[in-house]
Amino acid sequence: GDCLGTLEDLVIDLKNGLVTDLLVILENDIDPEKLPWPTNGGVCRVPSEEVTKISARIHLRR
């Protein structure tokens, strides 16, 4: 599949310890306006529910 970008950071819910969001620095050829998730300054906030698999790459549902 295509590459959305590079993982910059994880957002963790301090109350339960679960990862809630992945902060991804978008590739230059990605239009953030076409993404279903919020983007700020070239960093997209992808909800962890969108992740299907983590290996050498992070695989998303869509």
Residue 24: closest CA among 35, 8, 39, 10: 8
Instruction: Tell me how far apart the alpha carbons of residues 21 and 44 are, in angstroms, rounded to a whole number.
Output: 10
| DSSP symbols for 9-57 | EEEE-TTT--EEEEEEEEPTT--GGGSSS-EETTEEEEEGGGEEEESSS
* Cβ–Cβ under 8 Å, residues 12 and 18: yes
Boundaries of every domain in the chain: 5-54
Entry pTM: 0.89
Residue 43: per-residue pLDDT = 98
Q: What is the pLDDT of residues 10-45, one digit of tens each?
A: 999 999 999 999 999 999 999 999 999 999 999 999
